[in-house]
Structure 1
């Protein structure tokens, strides 16, 4: 992946942990549940990261996210992962890319529960926290206790 070309196309640099993850694993799915998007790669269904540069979210959902942030203001968002249930994980693009935190939107949530989970850490930390049950940001609770498998798009 030519990260300088990606940065030029996006007008921003992506976090180092994400770039390293993509270099090692590529776009694909964890446990047929959580998928990671990448910049465009010929033939990959996961090469849609650039499509999310300006996500359109309802004001109500943005207001709910703002309530969970110290600044009460939502920085620019960039989705990098989705679940089979339509939940979406975003970077909160505030400050240097390596300091971006993660916010996950739960598409289906029980009444009275927050639809957003804000995670103080990067994409890889978030991914590990989800797999180990430290955070439960998605419609389906936890995947703890099972063997995990990440499958690259070329192997699907």
Structure 2
């Protein structure tokens, strides 16, 4: 059964121009101890790693998604990651996407169950007085869908990701 958020993303983006990426998720879990959320796995299977609107890059395990993992994903954290900048910097964060402006989208990996991971966005080009870190009580697919449809205020430095039409380009697809 398709994840509802990814079904929504597909309705906004349309059918991909190329096949997504085949990832052996079981092998990834076996070798790293890391299991990734269903919505993300479905997105990668459908669209693959690539770039949305020449702005937001979505990483895959083949692109080094788990390189330099700074925590043991098989162990629950001693304390949950807080919301302050200091707590987030010391937290169990795993980057999944980034923008051309240097914004980074992370999973907050405080739970052993990846379906319960929340998202946090670091906004590199924050305006004076604006929070650079914003935490969302939702997963990857919901964050992406909300950003694309405008039901979620853009968490990124540049505005306009909520304006149609959208284009997703797989990194294997020639220019």
Match of 2:92 in 1: 76
TM-score by length of 1: 0.81
Output the aligned Cα RMSD. 2.3
| Among 34, 37, 47, the residue aligned to 1:25 | 47
Whether 1:150 aligns to 2:145 is no
Q: Distance in 2 between matches of 1:73 and 1:29?
A: 26
Q: CA deviation at 1:7?
A: 1.1
Aligned residues: 140
Whether contact under 8 Å (1:52, 1:78) holds in the other structure is no
Whether contact under 8 Å (2:83, 2:135) holds in the other structure is no
Q: CA deviation at 1:143?
A: 1.9
Q: For residues 108 and 19 of structure 1, do their structure 2 counterparts lie closer, same or farther at Cα, with a shift above 3 Å needed?
A: same
Match of 2:64 in 1: 48
Match of 2:155 in 1: 137
| Among 1, 5, 25, the residue aligned to 1:3 | 25
Whether 1:35 aligns to 2:53 is no
List gaps (5 residues or longer) in structure 2.
1-22, 72-80
Q: CA deviation at 1:53?
A: 1.9
Q: CA deviation at 1:66?
A: 3.4
Match of 1:60 in 2: none
- Cα deviation digits, residues 94-115 of structure 1 (max 9, x gap): 1110110100000111111000
Whether contact under 8 Å (1:101, 1:118) holds in the other structure is yes
List gaps (5 residues or longer) in structure 1.
41-46, 56-64
Match of 1:59 in 2: none
Q: SS at the partner of 1:102?
A: strand
Whether contact under 8 Å (2:92, 2:109) holds in the other structure is yes
- Cα deviation digits, residues 30-85 of structure 1 (max 9, x gap): 00000110011xxxxxx120225239xxxxxxxxx83459x999641000000011
